[in-house]
Chains A and B, each alone.
Chain A
Amino acid sequence: MIPGLPDLVRMRRERFDRLQEQLSVGGLDGLVLLGSSAVTYATGAAMPAQDGDRAALFRAVAVVVAGESAPHLYTLFADGAPTELHEDHLHGPLFPDLDDGMDQFAKALSGHFSIGARIGIDHQSHAMLRGLSGYDWVDASGVMGAAKIVKTPDEVACIRQAQLLNELAMVDALRALRPGVRQIDLSAVFLRRVFELGASAGGIDPIWQVMAPYRELGPWTLHGDLAYPTVTTDRFLRYGDVIWVDAGIIWEGYASDYGRTWIVGANPNTQQLGQFRRWRSVVDACLDILKPGASGLQLARVAIEANDGVRPWIEHFYLAHGVGTDSAEMPLIGTDFGEGFDEQLIMQPGMVAVFEPVIWEDGAAGYRSEDIVAVTDTGWVKLSGSTYDPYGFAA
């Protein structure tokens, strides 16, 4: 049962329990996490969205010790620490990227782990490789991936809420769409609105890519397939342009993922409506078989079949991906991990999948949208909305 709004304290406790369970499965003494989304997952820490190197230099660090009842958070952003995090688990910032920060970091770790401890880690700076000796570092991705792939009901509620805010702000952006508007103008409308509505953070520069009618008229690619997504600029949007929109924001640590196709200054013509119907039928074919026990490979196969044998996704992407504290995470279906991987990927209750097939008719561009569903005990429940303006409505 997915709550209307999440119980955040319960959600953080259940996530922490999952990490503890996976530490035990993996035989690890703990985790040291430096990546933004991993820290969010382990601790529930909120932090202001920051760009690249600023996010690195002033990163928060999470330490999870096997057997303990709560994580440790080292952060400059004390106002983002969860309310229930006890004072002795909330610490000042570490600077893992600086040699100058290693005495402090080493001292902190010695308070959590004994020499020789086997610790999962997601990123190592050279300062850390020089300054933090005596531990057996292993990749944290196994523990993190296993914990994150199945969401708790509260996590699903967070994703649904993030998606709702994203979709509401897009109503305003779509209203602003007309010939002569620039890509950045749409971003401006969208971002202002989404923060007014309650977004915790932006995640990614919103994308409003104009799809040239022919592949050959779009950007050159290594694989000959479509380029997507390309970066927003002050490019003008012009009458008849087909735009593939993609945007994600963060609410309480969880990413949304909004994907739709828009047309500038015109309604879709018959051919374009046909593309939309085909997109819908591909997603519906997947949803028809989606339930616990279905494999990624089965989903990929029905999607291809519904598109008359043509793979309905871009070569460097996927038919579907998960979403959570990362905007694209497991389960990934249809990637270059290959069919063997997809076959082993069995859908379970609590997995969240973003289906984003692409219908392409060379010469007439194509249609792309994203439907987000959570797998339930018997089937699925939709987390994203069901309007596909200006193409119409579909359940």
Chain B
Amino acid sequence: MSPVPRDRGVLVGMMSLEDDARVDFSLLRAERRAKVFSGMEIHGLDALMLGGAGDVHYVSGARQLGRAGVLPFAPVAVVVGETGRVHLLSTWDEGVPPEIAREELYGLSWNPANLMAALANIPGLRDSRRVGTDGLTPMFARLIAELVDGGELVDAAPVMATARRIKTPDEITCLDVASAIAESALSALEDALRPGITERELLGIYYEHVVRLGAPTPPSESVCFATPSRGPVRYRHLALDRPVGDGELVVLAPGALYAGYEAALARTRVAGRSAPPGAGDLASQCGRGMDALLAVCRPGNTGAELYRAWEGSGNSDSPVPLAHGLGLGAEPPVIGLGRGSDAVLEEGMVLSVQSWVAEEGVGGCLERAAVVIESGRASALTRYGRL
């Protein structure tokens, strides 16, 4: 909020330490901005008009309303190189960090003509010759072209994806916190898991738990599924009302967000006391696949190495990605499902890595972890015991 919150009620909460020992968010935001402005200079972009939730979060640091799903492109944040300023679509200043001044906000409009009029008032935007966006619609392509009369609309990804790919130490701390929230949620799910409970009830328990911890928006509601010990086993994403059967292997996959940063975690557990015959072998196969993937998550390796490691540990094509980037939500690259062979891993990238194996007559087993690529190896951000 800028410069001080007018509604003092927002101050009446407990999530900070009196010595500011935790993440220094003003430094975090300043470092992100510096990377964006330097990227704009390198790639010759005069302005950015951003609509993607992660990009808007990255440049603005604003605490915005959590919404599920993805909307078509609209300019929610504007970055102008000449002035060095970030402008944000927000009708009020609560949730807006102090470095974005009140005059740098533009209001919610239903009428695109009014939105464009507000954007036209942003100093330096209309004179921009090269404007990066993170998406377009046919309508906004026309309206923005008119706004920056004669300016060229280009892809903002060389700036934004590059800035976001390598994490700063404070970003890693945020991911550590998110990881701890996910671990806490996994403990809550483990405690609640028993034959007869439904996936929907487990989803409710997950929500209750992460929300009370102060992380009210989950990265995904795909947080658990039971796998059948008879018949074909498929990876499922949506919670069912069917009671979990005694002895079924159940995937518990609670993610978490902290300040927008996403942690990914999954383990598989048995509901009830006795695991189905073959569960031990399946868990070992899952663990081997995971270890093989983690062993090749090293700087300089490509997605192709992950494919080879996966196949080399005796697995066939996975119906889910082997790995994808993490940061302010899910990020490129996607390695798996036929994509990402050429993606190069770099030191400082954070990945969600997962091993999913299934066998008819036994069930399925998933292990997923958030890892940071360090020099020479991958280091797990999420920690939890295996099956």
Contacts and interface: CB of A to CB of B under 8 A. Distances in A.
Interface of A: 34-38, 46-59, 76-80, 92-93, 95, 97-98, 100-101, 104, 121-126, 129-130, 137-139, 141, 182, 184-185, 187-189, 191-196, 198, 201-207, 210, 212, 216-223, 227, 229-236, 238, 250, 316, 318, 332, 335-338, 341
Contacts, number: 279
29 contacts: A47-B237, A48-B238, A49-B218, A50-B69, A50-B220, A51-B53, A51-B217, A53-B54, A55-B70, A98-B334, A100-B339, A123-B72, A126-B154, A139-B138, A182-B13, A184-B212, A184-B214, A188-B208, A204-B66, A212-B9, A219-B6, A220-B93, A235-B9, A235-B10, A236-B13, A250-B68, A336-B109, A336-B110, A341-B111
A88 to B, nearest CB: 19
Interface in B93-134: 93-95, 102, 105-111, 114, 133-134
B43 interface: no
A201 B68 contact: yes
Contacts of B154: 126
B190 interface: no
B4 to A, nearest CB: 10
Contacts of A332: 110
A316 B139 contact: no
B258 to A, nearest CB: 12
Closest A-B pairs by Cβ, 7 of them: A52-B53, A53-B329, A36-B69, A49-B68, A126-B155, A227-B92, A205-B66
A194 to B, nearest CB: 8
Interface stretch (B34-42, B199-207, B282-290, B373-381): B199-207
B155 A59 contact: no
A222 B338 contact: no
Nearest to B205: A192
A54 B330 contact: yes
B337 A36 contact: no
A231 B95 contact: yes
A122 B72 CA distance: 6
Contacts of B239: 195
A101 B214 CA distance: 36
B64 interface: yes
B94 A95 contact: no
A221 B8 CA distance: 15
Contacts of B69: 35-37, 49-50, 55, 203
B13 A98 contact: no
Interface class of chain B by DSSP: loop
Interface of B: 1, 5-10, 12-15, 52-54, 57, 63-73, 91-95, 102, 105-111, 114, 133-139, 141, 154-157, 200-201, 203-205, 207-209, 211-212, 214, 216-222, 234, 236-239, 241, 257, 262, 320, 324, 328-334, 337-340, 342-343
A14 B222 CA distance: 29
Nearest to A56: B70
B94 A219 contact: yes
B328 A185 contact: no
Contacts of A318: 110
A57 B222 contact: no
Contacts of A336: 109-111, 114
- Give the residue among A47, A48, A51, A57 with the most B Cβ atoms within 10 A: A51
Given A76-B237, A235-B9, A236-B13, A219 B200 contact: no
Contacts of B92: 219-222, 227, 230
Contacts of B339: 95, 98, 100-101
A93 B69 CA distance: 16
